[in-house]
Amino acid sequence: IRRLLNQTGGCSVTWAMISGEACTYAVRAFYGTGTNGNTRDDLFNSHYVILWGWNPSVTIWDSNTSYILAQVRERGIPIVAVDPRYTDSVATFANQWIPIRPGADTAMMVAMAHVIISKNLHDQPFIDKYSIGFDQFKDYVLGKEDGIPKTPAWAEPITGVPADTIEKLAIAYATNRPSALIAGFGPGRSARGEQYHRAAMTLATITGNVGVHGGNAAGAEINPVVSSFGVKLPVEDNPVDKEFPFPNSSMDTAIRVKARPHISLVWDAVLKGKAGGYPADYKMLYLNCVNQINQFPNANKGVQALKKLEFVVVHDTFITSTARYADIVLPITTILERNDFCRPWLSGTHYLFNNQAINPIGESKSDWQIACDLAPRLGITNFGDKSEDEWLREIYKASPDMCKQVPDYDTFKKDGVHKVKLSGPQVAFEQQIKDPANNPFPTRSGKIEIYAKRLADLNNPLVPPVPKYVEPWESPNDPLAKKYPLQLITTHFKRRIHSMMDNNSWLKELIPQAVQINARDAAGRGIADGDMVRVFNDRGQVAILARVTERIMPGVVDIPEGAWFNPDSQGVDRGGCGNTLTKDEVSPGGALCSNTCLVQVEKFGRRG
């Protein structure tokens, strides 16, 4: 479809790595790269593991994470989890659960740095050899810069974590080396989420845990070796990019948004157009492989935008919540009805071939077939001159890394799966640490930048050059918290992949969509487990079942993301979609802010 649109004058495309733009941004400034994770099996070399806002027993990252974590636990390596929820991962793998208020992670990490520095547990030779900016960070942490020492006692009221717990965790992390701090994406999908990732990477750096087996650089969980097994797609240039070149290397979100709408700002771009600083006054939206209204913030604003547009096309396998607003829905085949290959996640070592199992049902066609059928009607000749199999082989041939890893296409197609064999655990930045003279970090200074020069140039206090706790909007201190006192997070769910599978009634029966609320918050509102409740703020209202539990900390509620937005005639979302409530403001580094949201919950009446 991209190729088709590029050949008919081009289109505005959106930007942001929606899952972890905060991390991407932070890593670019800090290490200068995009990738910096270890392969999972390197955790066997760790002496201490922290799962920070990471729930891999539910949110699948790659095929063997849970298996390895279970063995790590069996080997007696301590695992600590920092999460507002007592997740399945905490229950299964962790020795200790540290509940923390959403959006407060940076404060806790900075306080851990305070403990580490003031007890002289940091690795000064490592810091001196491989990084710049420790002194500026230290001045901030110790309070020389602003008169406020960032002690555990300072962090306690912000985070809800007792000072003593913060101190013990800091000491354990710094002294049981090598130690792996795995910083998940969830806390980063928040206002100022970038600071959380930079603080995590700073902790890893000052304790000498970067580039060593058993450590972890605490950035994106994507290993450079593994991620290079890429697949390249041949799509022609987009003419719109010539008129509005996207500043790929810029760290300035405001400049980037002027060239391409951020994926969270699609509705804003449609509603405001050029007057709002966007590249165009949009008339048409072409949605392919995305459930836009459901998966991006502020669904009610999305309804307004979709109604304003002259023409909306949706390609999907189902009549999703978004498809209901389309002028034309083109039914797409599932993976069982067509041939394709893929590499699940960037951290995976598998290539999968999806061999067609059945003929397409009804009128459905693949996205590729639809593009071929549309092309001649749009005056493009020779668009569909290759068969599906010819295309797949061409994509394979155009991907040198894939050719290297998967030597024989036909065997791959026959086997359906190809696993890349690695020589052993892979550690990000091993070369930079072993032989720094010949392997500088790809930053301006060639070193790890705790003080990031590229951020200093921006001169924006919301993205300071050293990681800092900057209070997010809609925090418990916001005056809005009087009206909406609960912090909403919208986590990924066991029985769905985002919105996919939500329409599977068997799975629905297995785990109903519900808002998790702490027993104390529920009691104060007269809410019992299984009650229907109304979760609301100024952006919307959701009718949903209440799951009263001790597995979420007081003051925080969770609506798992992905349930299908389904507003009734009163505008109450009966589907239980978290994005009915979330705010479509983008963090200064481009993060989706789906975990920064204040709400109130009240009883709606009993089910049935």
Ligand X SMILES: Nc1nc2c(c(=O)[nH]1)N[C@H]1C(S)=C(S)[C@@H](COP(=O)(O)OP(=O)(O)OC[C@H]3O[C@@H](n4cnc5c(=O)[nH]c(N)nc54)[C@H](O)[C@@H]3O)O[C@H]1N2
Binding site for Mo ion (CB under 5 A): 19
Q: Is 19 in the site for ligand X (CB under 6 A)?
A: yes
Which of positions 367-426 make contact with ligand X (CB under 6 A)?
Answer: 367
Query: Could you give phi then psi for residue 75, rounded to 5 degrees?
Result: -80, 0
Edge-to-edge order in the sheet of strand 311-316: 284-288, 311-316, 328-331
Closest separation in Å from C-beta 206 to ligand X:
20
Of 131 and 499, which has the nearer Cβ to ligand X? 499
Cα(352)–Cα(228) distance, integer angstroms: 16
Residues shown for the chain: 608
Out of 160, 186, 211, 540, which residue is the one contacting ligand X (CB under 6 A)? Answer: 186
Report the partner that residue 100 touches, choosing among ligand X, Mo ion, none (CB closer than 5 to 8 A by kind). Answer: ligand X
Q: Find the shortest distance in angstroms from Cβ 346 to Mo ion.
A: 11
Structure tokens of 56? Answer: 């891999």
Task: List the one residue from 53, 178, 575, 590 that touches ligand X (CB under 6 A).
Answer: 53
Pick the stretch among 72-80, 98-106, 239-247, 355-363 that binds ligand X (CB under 6 A).
98-106
| Contact predicate 43/56, CB 8 Å | no
499 binds ligand X (CB under 6 A): yes
211 DSSP 8-state letter: S
Tell me whether residue 286 or residue 409 sits nearer to ligand X (CB atom): 286
- Which residues between 64 and 83 bind ligand X (CB under 6 A)? 82-83
Task: Look up residue 340 and give its two tokens.
Answer: 């394709």
Element (DSSP H or E) covering residue 156: helix 152-159
Counting contacts by CB under 6 A, is residue 151 touching ligand X?
no
* List 39, 131, 295, 537, residue binding ligand X (CB under 6 A): 295
316 binds ligand X (CB under 6 A): yes
Q: Of 497, 510, 523, 528, which lies in the binding site for ligand X, with binding defined by CB under 6 A?
A: 497
Considering beta carbons, is residue 160 or 562 the nearer one to Mo ion?
562
CB of 454 to ligand X, least distance (A): 25
* Residues 347 and 426 sit within 8 Å (Cβ to Cβ): no
- Choose from Mo ion, ligand X, none: what does 595 bind? Cβ within 5-8 Å by kind: ligand X
> Are the C-beta atoms of 453 and 30 separated by less than 8 Å?
no
Residues contacting residue 191 through CB under 8 Å, at least 6 positions apart: 103, 472, 473, 474, 585, 587, 591, 593, 596
Binding segment for ligand X (CB under 6 A), chosen from 159-167, 415-423, 442-450, 498-506, is: 498-506
Question: Is 573 a binder of ligand X (CB under 6 A)?
Answer: no
Any idea what the Cα angle at residue 482 is, between residues 584 and 575, rounded to 5°?
A: 45
- Quick check: 18 binds ligand X (CB under 6 A)? yes
Looking at beta carbons only, is 276 or 344 nearer to ligand X? 344
* Cα–Cα separations (whole angstroms), residue 272 to 266, 268, 280, 540: 10, 6, 9, 21
DSSP E strands, 335-387: 340-342, 350-354
Given a contact cutoff of 8 angstroms between Cβ atoms, the answer to whether 558 and 280 are in contact is no
Q: Residue 105 or 123: which CB sits closer to ligand X?
A: 105
Told to check if 17 binds ligand X by CB under 6 A, we report no
Least CB distance from residue 182 to ligand X, whole Å? 10
The residue among 103 and 186 lying less far from Mo ion, judged by its C-beta, is: 186
Is 60 a binding residue for ligand X by CB under 6 A? The answer is yes
- Find the shortest distance in angstroms from Cβ 474 to ligand X: 12
Rounded Cα distance between 456 and 104, Å, is 23
Distance CA 213, CA 44 (A): 9
Q: Sign (positive/negative) of CA torsion 125, 129, 131, 132?
A: positive
**Closer CB to ligand X, 142 or 303, in the complex:** 303
* Partner in contact with 82, chosen from Mo ion, ligand X, none, beta carbon below 5 to 8 Å by kind: ligand X
CB 455 within 8 A of CB 132: no
Provide the Cα torsion 91, 94, 98, 102; round to 10°.
-70
Closest contact distance (angstroms) between CB of 435 and ligand X is: 33
Q: Where are the alpha helices (H) located in 486-562, listed in sequence order?
A: 505-510, 519-524
Positions in the binding site for ligand X (CB under 6 A): 18-19, 52-55, 58-60, 82-85, 87, 100, 102-103, 105, 184-187, 189-190, 288-291, 295, 315-318, 320, 332, 367, 489-494, 496-500, 561, 578-579, 582, 594-595
